[in-house]
Amino acid sequence: MPRPSRTDTVDDPASRRDDTLLRIITDKLPIGIAYVDPDRFYSFANQRFAAAYGLTPESIVGKHADEFIWQDTLELGNPFFEAAYSGKAVDFIHPGRHADGRQLTIRTFLRPDISEDGRVAGFYVCSFNVTREKEAETALLQAQKMDAVGQLASGIAHDFNNLLAVIYGNLVPLRDLVGEAAIREEYLEPSIHAVEQGARLTGQLLAIARRQPLRPEAIDVEACVTDMLRLLRRTLRPDISVGMECRGVPPLAHLDRGQFETALLNLCLNARDAMPQGGRIGIEIDYPSPRGGADFVGVTISDTGEGIGEETLGQIFEPFFTTKGAGQGTGLGLSMVWGFIRQSAGTIAVDSSPGKGSRFMLDLPILAADAASRQLSAAAAGDATQPGQGLVLLVDDNHELRRTIRRQLAGAGYSVIEAESGEEALPLVGALDNLRALVSDVVMPGMSGFSLAREAVRLRPELRVILMTGFAEVDDADAETDRAAFPLLNKPFLPDKLICAIEDSAA
């Protein structure tokens, strides 16, 4: 039962002037302001405070809190109101909603009005909408968490890939040497397959960490999506349809094609899994992007599935988070997509709610003119040296890995000189007249592989340089340009890939 309203009966012209001036001032402020007496009747409210409840300031004056404040808000605020009535200053942050339906985060200050005799006559209410600030704070914490995961993942992946490279580099030639098929199939093939699985796992970790070695190139997004959909349709159930719409004429994007296709596939398979009763997957391509403008191609993957609850939405990009049952997913798919898009200088956002499906919105960077020029000039002219001939300088601080790669090079017919650091290798580059190629690890103590490569081609512009990496993150401002200029092999790799890279500097 609503309590009766209170009204002021004092008619003082000076007081009315003061009230008018106070209202003009408070209505200009971007905060909700009100005054409440000890019985919780409101004697003042500015426009912003009243509008939050769909009321006018005049209609609030004289009302009791029970008459217009939502019950859940009252229940949440009761302990703080009681503290204010006892004479304490109170600050608290709480969820709220606006009369127009918006869900907000509110910071409220309660300040007691204490009379000269020490009695609490009421309290002042000041409420700020801090929704954007909390969203920014949440995004910052998420970014810091992902960066910490990235540093951990990249360090593990680098060392793990070195181990895999040694194992892989010895198992493959051993398989070729073993004549008995049963031994190869029973022991060697499963071991090689396990190494390849380990390499894929570290690739996922590096994608999450935004430290995977990318090979961006000019990508026709529409053609890439069309090709992917052709393959995807074969894996979808009959009760799931898929379609694509392209608006505008997208220019070429600047992306690693293989990683982009994997990201698209992950998003579409997640959409499929969200529709156990069937539905539709839609892919929209927009240029210019409705979010990023003319510097980006917009790609939106949507589904008509179950949607994602608010409590889950903030976790979907976290590594190893999954809502699927045991054995149905690793929880790395969306994390990989997030890491790849961010590392590619793009953005990803999601809009979803239970029962209303999901929309994953990507903004992909277009290929700038200077990037296209660098790609065209990256290939160096070949020489007349025959395959498998010439001297190769091999640089790596890992002795076991260096020995494995030396054996691969020697088996292909090359002469090999080794160095365990960039500082040791650089004088050899200038001194060896018959040097055909430099093969170097990227991450080494002291001089990095990128720095060594730059110095080496300054000394000998015709020299072929191949870099090897467990991940491509290095504290080097010019490394991004170098990735396009030098072939980059991801550990572990087959000997054939190394030989091809030496024979073809554009590999």
Mean pLDDT, the chain, integer: 80
Q: Would the pTM count as exceeding 0.85?
A: no
The phi and psi torsions of 128 (rounded to 5 degrees) equal -115, 140
Average pLDDT on 300-323 reads 79
pLDDT tier at 17, thresholds 50, 70, 90 = low
Q: What pLDDT does residue 326 have?
A: 43
In the predicted structure, residue 160 carries a pLDDT above the cut 70: yes
**7-16 pLDDT, tens digit each:** 444 456 655 6
What pLDDT is recorded for position 486? 82
Burial of residue 220, with CB atoms counted within 10 A of its CB: 0-12 exposed, 13-18 middle, 19 or more buried: middle
pLDDT in tens, 205-225: 666 555 556 678 888 999 889
Instruction: Give the strand order in the sheet containing 120-129.
Output: 42-45, 32-36, 120-129, 103-114, 90-97
Give the range among 139-148, 245-254, 276-285, 338-347 with minimum mean pLDDT.
Answer: 139-148
pLDDT at residue 381, as a whole number:
37
Residue 471 pLDDT more than 70? no
Q: What is the pLDDT of residue 484?
A: 59
The two tokens of residue 133 are 């600030």
Q: For position 404, what pLDDT does the model report?
A: 87
Question: Which region among 15-24, 151-160, 371-380 has the lowest average model confidence (pLDDT)?
Answer: 371-380
- CA–CA gap between residue 477 and residue 69 (Å, rounded): 56
Percent of the chain with pLDDT over 70: 80
- Buried b or exposed e, range 360-374, using 16+ CB within 10 angstroms: bbbbbbbbeeebeee
Out of 214-218, 245-249, 443-447, 489-493, which region has the weakest mean confidence (pLDDT)? 214-218
Q: What is the DSSP string of 245-260?
A: EEES----EEE-HHHH
Across the range 364-381, mean pLDDT stands at 55
- The 10s digit of each residue's pLDDT in 30-86 is 899 999 998 889 989 998 899 888 899 999 999 998 888 888 888 888 888 888 888
Annotate 321-340 with DSSP letters as a single string: ---SPTTS--S-HHHHHHHH
Mean pLDDT is lowest, of 145-159, 225-239, 329-343, for 145-159
Task: Identify whether the C-beta of residue 162 lies closer than 8 Å to the C-beta of residue 186.
Answer: no
Query: Residue 5: pLDDT above 90?
Result: no
Res 481 pLDDT > 60? no
Q: How confident is the model at residue 472 (pLDDT cuts 50, 70, 90)?
A: very low
The average pLDDT across 373-382 equals: 41
Phi-psi region of 56 (alpha: psi -120 to 50; beta: other; left: phi over 0): beta
Please give the average per-residue pLDDT across 99-110, as a whole number.
87
Q: How many residues does the chain have?
A: 507
Looking at per-residue confidence, does 115 or 145 come out higher? 115
Identify the H or E element spanning 92: strand 90-97
**What pLDDT is stored for residue 320 in this prediction?**
57
By DSSP bridging, strand 435-441 and strand 391-395 are: parallel
Predicted pLDDT of residue 19: 66
* pLDDT of res. 14: 58
Please check the confidence at residue 507 and state whether its pLDDT lies above 50.
no
Tell me what pLDDT residue 365 has.
93
pLDDT at residue 330, as a whole number: 45
Cα gap 50→57, rounded to integer Å: 5
| Confidence (pLDDT) at 259 | 82
Listed in sequence order, the residues at least 6 apart from 212 whose beta carbon sits closer than 8 Å to its beta carbon are 203, 206, 259, 339, 340, 343, 471, 472
Alpha helices, DSSP H only, in 178-220? 181-183, 189-208
Compute and round to an integer the Cα radius of gyration of the chain.
Answer: 32
